[in-house]
Amino acid sequence: MLEIRNLHVAVDGKEILKGIDLAVGRGEVHALMGPNGSGKSTLAYVLAGREGYEVTKGEVLYQGRNLLDLAPEERAREGVFLGFQYPVEIPGVAAMNFLKAAVNAVRKHRGEDELDAIDFLKLVRDKAKALKMDGELLKRPLNVGFSGGEKKRNEILQMAMIDPRLAVLDETDSGLDIDALKIVAAGVNALRGPERAILLITHYQRLLNYIVPDRVHVLVDGRIVKSGGKKLALEVDDQGYEPFTAGEKAA
């Protein structure tokens, strides 16, 4: 599904990612863990196509195609979804209208009929209910005045509505209390399936108690220093990133 090969990325001339190799297969859930400043969010943004990130070396293949050639909206329509660490507040754009435009842009690209107002509302209501989201929230301007937890739930709602093939979730757990974390995790787990791949980016192991990954990678200073099974996350939780950082320095 996703194949990242020797990816080097610079921001303002400074190299942040220093040769990432990562393959996430169909049906798999991978966790990418790392300390602050290790390049986790940079990788997420590069995958989504944000401006200002210069790929200096390497490639990213998505379903066998060169992902980096596609504009952000093309990636989204092809099934790539980025759950933002900090969802953007957009005054004046009602969350519901935005969601409808997004869903229909993706559906249109897939050759599906656009949802009419009634079908759309029904779908939103069902999905929002599963995430224990207040429907009134969606009448408000997008993310404006949403609490941290509401913003993250809104990201997961968008993901559920858009139905992506590859979901990259950037610190979706940050700022969530335990109840919200469980709800969000259930939302992500509902999306797990043989046709989809998920890349969870997180600082802490906590989320991985609820979304159990197939593989765990540790990112330090722009490089993946260790990969392993779900137990690797416990190791990180137990020892912190220090041993991995030291290993990096020694190398």
Partner 1 sequence: MGKDKSIAASYARQFAEVEGALPGRGLAWLDALRANAIERFAELDFPTPKLESWKFTNLRPLTREVFAPSPATRNGLGKGDVARWLADDLPCHLMVFVDGHFRADLSELGALPRGARVASLAETLAGDPARLEAHLAGNDAIEGDAPVALNTALMADGAVIALDRGVALEKPVHLLYLATAATKPVAMHLRNLVVAEPGSSATLIETYAAPRGGRYWTNAVTDIVVARDAQIRHFKLQNESVDAFHLAATRARLAKGSGYDSFYASFGARLSRNEIATRLDGEGADCRLSGVYLARGRQHVDNTTVIDHREPGSVSKEHYKGVLDGDAHGVFQGKIIVRPGAQKTDAHQLNKNLLLSKTAQADTKPELEIHADDVKCSHGAAVGELDAEALFYLRSRGLDPAHAQRMLVEAFIGEVIDGIGTPALRSHLGRLVAAWLSEAED
Report the relative pairing of strands 14-24 and 2-11 from DSSP bridges.
Answer: antiparallel
In angstroms, the CA 174 to CA 5 distance is 28
| Nearest residue (CB) to partner 1, 58 versus 87 | 87
Tokens linked to 74: 């093309």
Cβ(33)–Cβ(219) below 8 Å: yes
Angle, helices 242-250/231-239, rounded to nearest 10 degrees = 90
72 forms part of the interface with partner 1 (CB under 8 A):
yes
Rounded to the nearest whole angstrom, what is the least distance from the CB of residue 106 to partner 1 in the complex?
Answer: 4
90 forms part of the interface with partner 1 (CB under 8 A):
yes
43 forms part of the interface with partner 1 (CB under 8 A):
no
87 forms part of the interface with partner 1 (CB under 8 A):
yes
Question: DSSP assignment, residue 78?
Answer: T
With contacts defined by CB under 8 A, name the span among 3-11, 58-66, 74-82, 111-119 that binds partner 1: 74-82
* Site residues (CB under 8 A) for partner 1, limited to 100-119: 101-102, 105-106, 109
In angstroms, the CA 4 to CA 166 distance is 13
In angstroms, the CA 135 to CA 99 distance is 13
Residues 77, 127, 152, 196: which binds partner 1 (CB under 8 A)? 77
Q: How many residues bind partner 1 (CB under 8 A)?
A: 28
| Nearest residue (CB) to partner 1, 106 versus 138 | 106
For Cα atoms 77, 83, 89, give the angle at the middle one, nearest 5 degrees. Answer: 100
Binding site for partner 1 (CB under 8 A): 48-51, 71-73, 75-77, 82, 84, 87-88, 90-93, 97-98, 101-102, 105-106, 109, 141, 158, 162
